[in-house]
Amino acid sequence: MGPRPPFLIVSAVTLILACQSCTGLSRIESPVQEEPDRFVRVEARHGDSPHEGFTRFDHPFPLSVQDWNRILQNVWMQREPGLMALLASQESSIPAFSADEIAFLSKWLNRAFKHAHADEWVVFGLIRAGSPGVTEITTGGWFVEGDRLYLRFTNYRYAVSMASIKDQLWDDPLHSMGVRVYIFAPGDNQSAALIGGGQLGDLRGTSIPQLAIDYGGFLTPPSPAKAAKPAQRSDPTQQAVSPEQGSGSDAAQKLRELKQLRDDGIITEEEYRTKKKQVLDRY
């Protein structure tokens, strides 16, 4: 029998293990694919509840690259409604991911979920070029619960000009910077929600977009009759109104809001006239 470790060393090791147990949080990251402008990795967060009432995911989760490709192609976003949305171009729903991002994510999400455990997120980060000196960063996480696949965008196309912010989000992709411009535009077999609190909420209470995908129903080939009909994508901002209501009252309200923005000095006279013309042209 070899010599026993000194009592002080054993005590120190015991104390360190006890402290880790008391904090209830140890973070383990397992890189799947790391590149300068994008990554997919498996990240464990022991002691954190990913969301209320749930502590373990249904992982591993085998899904083919082709299935991931189809799922990613059908994730769409739209600008969050609000007064300031009038200042932006009136765009319809947009794909959440570019073709290049879909090809990258399909391959590496497939591999990550094959090895993810029940207490591990699959997290990702993507960078797009924005205006000069600015990049747009998207980060978030995926997990499976029961028969649903969940996607959370903790940051979607967040404009960054400082390398330190990029490094922070790369290190902790589940940290929200507290700015939400886009929300999910759910389609068939999808439902969207805003969640907040816990590790995924910031001090200002910013909620985070979450998309739940019924992957079984989504990936099942449709019947011939249903396949002939185009997939419907719901608009969470659209209210049920008659055609007579939608034009006059809505346009008048937007014009009043634009005038208020101009009077308050938020937009210039030229911007006011341009947006006013856009509203009247649509009317």
**Do 213 and 260 share a domain, yes or no?**
no
Q: Are residues 28 and 162 in the same domain?
A: yes
CA dihedral 104→106→111→115, nearest 10 degrees, is 120
Instruction: Find the range with the poorest average confidence among 10-14, 114-118, 144-148, 230-234.
Output: 10-14
* Residue where a domain stops, chosen among 190, 206, 229: 229
Rounded to the nearest 5°, which phi and psi values hold at 274?
Answer: -65, -45
Q: Are residues 250 and 224 in the same domain?
A: no
Alpha-carbon distances of 55 from 10, 20, 48, 118, 208, rounded to whole Å: 33, 19, 8, 9, 19
Q: Say what the pLDDT of residue 139 is.
A: 97
Q: Which of 71-75, 154-158, 195-199 has the lowest mean pLDDT?
A: 195-199
Output the pLDDT for position 264.
67
Paired tokens of 1: 């029998």
Question: Are residues 148 and 252 part of one domain?
Answer: no
pLDDT of residue 207: 85
Look at the chain and report how many structural domains it folds into.
2
Contact (CB, 8 A) for 276 and 254: no
Distances (CA, A) of 6 to 3, 15, 200: 9, 15, 43
Is 60 exceeded by the pLDDT of residue 51?
no
18 found inside a domain: no
User: Quick check: 122 pLDDT over 80?
Assistant: yes
Give the pLDDT confidence score for residue 36 in this predicted structure: 93
Could you tell me if 259 and 214 lie in one domain? no
In whole angstroms, give the CA distance from residue 131 to residue 205.
29
Same domain assignment for residues 221 and 189 = yes
Q: Are 265 and 201 contained in the same domain?
A: no
Q: What percent of the chain has pLDDT over 90?
A: 44
Mean pLDDT of the chain: 76
State the pLDDT at residue 242.
35
Range in 21-35, 142-156, 268-282 the model is least confident about: 21-35
Rounded to the nearest 5°, which phi and psi values hold at 61? Answer: -140, 95
Q: For residue 236, what pLDDT band results from cuts at 50, 70 and 90?
A: very low
CB atoms within 10 A of CB 214: 16
Average of pLDDT values for 97-114? 96
- Tell me which residue range forms the domain holding 140: 24-229
pLDDT of residue 245 exceeding 80: no
If residue 77 lies in a helix (H) or strand (E), which one and from where to where?
strand 76-79
Residue 48 placed within a domain: yes
pLDDT at residue 37, as a whole number: 95
Which amino acid is present at 83? L
Q: Is 9 part of a structural domain of the chain?
A: no
Do 180 and 58 have their domain in common? Answer: yes
- CA atoms lying within 13 Å on the CB side of residue 142: 26
For 188-203, what is the mean pLDDT?
71
For residues 111 and 41, the answer to whether their CB atoms sit within 8 Å is: no
Task: Give tens-digit pLDDT for 252-271.
Answer: 777 777 777 777 666 778 77
Q: So what's the pLDDT on residue 201?
A: 47
What's the confidence (pLDDT) of residue 87? 52
Angle between the N-to-C axes of helices 65-73 and 99-115, in degrees from 0 to 180, rounded to the nearest 10: 130
- Lowest mean pLDDT across 47-61, 104-118, 153-167, 174-188: 47-61
pLDDT for the residue numbered 44: 81
Residue 5 lies inside a defined structural domain of this protein: no
Query: Do 260 and 134 have their domain in common?
Result: no
Q: What is the pLDDT of residue 200?
A: 47
Q: Report if residue 36 sits inside a domain.
A: yes
Q: Which of 138, 136, 63 is nearest to 106 (CA)?
A: 63
Domain stop point among 229, 256, 275: 229
Instruction: Check pLDDT > 70 for residue 100.
Output: yes
Amino acid at 153: F
In a domain, 17, yes or no: no
What's the pLDDT score for residue 274?
77
Same domain, 279 and 208: no
Rounded distance, CA 40 to CA 170, Å?
Answer: 10
Q: Are 109 and 122 in contact (CB under 8 A)?
A: yes
147 and 267 in a single domain? The answer is no
Residue 6 lies in a domain: no
Q: What is the pLDDT of residue 144?
A: 95
pLDDT of residue 151: 97
Residue 235 lies in a domain: no
33 strand-pairing partners: 40
31 & 67 share domain: yes
Per-residue pLDDT averaged across 35-58, rounded?
73
